[in-house]
Amino acid sequence: MQVLRDYIDQQTRSTISDADFALVMTELLPYRLQRKQYLLQAGEVCQYQAFVMQGALRLYSVDARGNKHIHVLGVESRWIGDRESWSQLTPSPYYIDAVEDSELLLINCPQAQGLVRTVPLVAELVRIQDERNAIATQKRLHDAISCSAEERYAAFIAQHPTYVQRFSQLMIASYLGISPETLSRIRAKLPPVSAAVVGRPGG
């Protein structure tokens, strides 16, 4: 569980005590997903937020034509879940499945709220994450409206250099809101070294 402990310490720039970390661990449920297995399907209530200890997942919706639209890509030391469904107990419009075999730590909303009340560093972690998520959402909206496909891809590579090796081109194109053909054209213009690190084509 060192991944979670390091995450808490790094995000809060503090050191969680052994007693507080033991309390956190009592509220978390270890869970494993095999590749292509679902954590959540549309129409279900999202019971848990998931902290990714190992592996990779995606959160996506499916439109009336059957096209997938990826909203979140999650790897180690990231949380994934439908926050609205989780907190309001409403049916989710999203799917969450594993892109790789994954090891997770799950927490439901009452457990999380209890930790916020009893562990100050968890309350600080939630505050920091809420702020960063709001900034990230605003930036993604700005990029979708104001930036070209090339600029969005360049920013994605700069921010998440390892994602191109773990998520398919089709998934990355969906996440960026561009067609796979557009992504292929962008990649074709990259220098040979940069193109060489780009991830698998299908998926």
pLDDT-based confidence at 192, cuts 50/70/90? low
* Bridge partners (DSSP) listed for residue 97: 38, 58
Q: CA 143, 172, 195: angle at the middle one, nearest 5? A: 100
pTM, rounded to two decimals: 0.89
Each residue's pLDDT tens digit, 12-48: 999 999 999 999 999 999 999 999 999 999 999 999 9
Domain 2-139, CATH homologous superfamily name and number: Jelly Rolls (2.60.120.10)
Rounded distance between C-alpha atoms, residue 165 and residue 184, angstroms: 15
The candidate with the shortest Cα–Cα distance to 103, out of 49, 51, 36, 59, is 51
Alpha-carbon radius of gyration of the chain: 18
Confidence tier at 190 by pLDDT (50, 70, 90):
confident
pLDDT, tens digit (0-9, with 9 covering 90-100), for 4-14: 999 999 999 99
Could you tell me where the beta strands, DSSP code E, fall in the chain? 29-33, 38-40, 49-54, 57-62, 68-74, 79-80, 95-98, 102-107
